[in-house]
A and B are shown apart, each in its own frame.
Chain A
């Protein structure tokens, strides 16, 4: 039992060590020319454009759910007038960012993990390296940068969808003009209230891209290895996004409020 525990602890530290080395190699490759602009643009499309429908749909669903729950809860305490600000702050500061992070962890994390794992087991990554092309620059850096850039934009999309459907769900029950909803929801708000929660998702993007690329590019074991890489990418990326959210929320509260 003790030996098993020691082995697990060893694997834990070895994983973090390997991840750190991978991060350093990728960072060094990303910061030296020649830059892979074409591949970066392709990845921006893969991560951003193709995740947009799912993220917007999830944001819309969250908006409706929050709207219904907020109306009920606030009504119990006689605070219906707080509906707009409650919905706006809930979506933009809390639900939009974390939900976007988790959805992208699933879709993009699994996609990157599986794609790179498949390339690894079929020697395509070795072929890239043997062709004097840095695989960290071509494959990992482009995907990680794409995730960093796209997560805040996807979060904005989720927020917009959530606020729109949340307002719509409310107005079906108790008519509320969109202008009034926005006026009261954002009343007294500053950029500090909304920009940090949105841009913290760039950190989520870094974690998702880094972990998915790392898991994919170290795969062994054929089809089983590819499946394991995809699953581990999603699970670990999601876990790290949740943990990062806890840390970043505290950080934002300390620094910006």
Chain B
């Protein structure tokens, strides 16, 4: 069985080999009772690439992200990160993988008993115990400044808007310098201006950090703005995968209907 050191070596190899996909989803199948959410889908994401996963509500987009990070276990198929099948990893090995992944939940999932600054510092306190409190505070300020929230350090999550919560969620996800970013509906529930600001922020971070990103959204405009490739799901299957122009040129009825309604 691979050790934690093996995973670190594989991560370093993946960083050197920028062509190899970092995240590979292979024939993933997931059912909840009688309802099949994902029906054997296969996707891959390279370093520095953003894949947008689109589809109607309830088509398993969020479940896909949860399977990638190991919050759910697939019924069949596999998720490989840095060449490691995550279902075969022990808890500490999976922990090392998760430290390389930043996950932004649909409703931010900020810890409501902690302030904005404490939320961002949370991962640093747990995983970077070698860092002094002043260095940690500097890092928290830097992260919040990147997302435009440096003036809200002492506010509680309930005191800030949904858009601001998502910004803080993004800052928190970036705390450990992740190489993979998973975003679940980053603009859901936001007004068009706030959605645009979040999209711009994601694009800026992508340009600077070159992470492999998977963005789940039903917002075609947002997906088009921030992604290199798009995958459209319907009834648990990938209907089409490619650039936005490929979707526009498709004559698959579901694709045409989805584009028409968006």
Contacts and interface: CB of A to CB of B under 8 A. Distances in A.
A92 to B, nearest CB: 37
Contacts of A132: 94-96, 98-99, 127
A122 B99 contact: no
A73 to B, nearest CB: 49
Nearest to B91: A134
B228 to A, nearest CB: 24
Contacts of B96: 132
22 contacts: A34-B129, A119-B111, A122-B109, A123-B107, A124-B109, A124-B110, A124-B111, A124-B112, A126-B105, A126-B109, A127-B109, A130-B69, A130-B101, A131-B103, A131-B122, A131-B123, A131-B126, A132-B94, A132-B96, A132-B98, A132-B99, A132-B127
A122 B112 contact: yes
A176 to B, nearest CB: 48
B71 interface: yes
Interface of A: 34, 118-119, 122-124, 126-127, 129-134
Nearest to A138: B126
B112 A130 contact: no
4 closest A-B pairs by CB: A132-B98, A132-B95, A127-B109, A123-B109
Contacts of A130: 69, 71, 98, 101, 103
Contacts of A119: 111-112
B202 to A, nearest CB: 18
A122 B98 contact: no
Nearest to B129: A34
A133 B107 contact: no
A91 B179 CA distance: 61
The bracket for how many chain B residues form the interface is 20 to 34
A124 B127 CA distance: 18
B96 to A, nearest CB: 7
A127 B103 contact: yes
A109 B13 CA distance: 49
Contacts of A123: 105-107, 109
B134 to A, nearest CB: 18
Nearest to A28: B91
Nearest to A123: B109
Given A124-B111, A130-B71, A132-B98, 10 more contacts: A122-B109, A123-B109, A124-B110, A124-B112, A126-B66, A127-B111, A131-B123, A132-B94, A132-B99, A133-B126
Interface in B67-93: 69, 71, 91
Contacts of B112: 118-119, 122, 124
A132 B91 CA distance: 9
A98 B63 CA distance: 46
B17 to A, nearest CB: 25
A126 B107 contact: no
Nearest to A127: B109
A126 B71 contact: yes
Interface string B1-40: 0000000000000000000000000000000000000000
A40 B91 CA distance: 22
Contacts of B95: 132
Contacts of B126: 34, 131, 133
B81 to A, nearest CB: 13
Contacts of B101: 130
A228 to B, nearest CB: 20
A131 B105 contact: no
A129 B71 contact: yes
Interface string B30-71: 000000000000000000000000000000000000100101
A206 to B, nearest CB: 24
A123 B172 CA distance: 15
Contacts of B110: 124
Contacts of A127: 103, 105, 109, 111
Interface in B112-136: 112, 122-123, 126-127, 129
Given A130-B98, A132-B95, A122 B71 contact: no
A134 B112 CA distance: 18
B113 to A, nearest CB: 8
Nearest to A130: B103
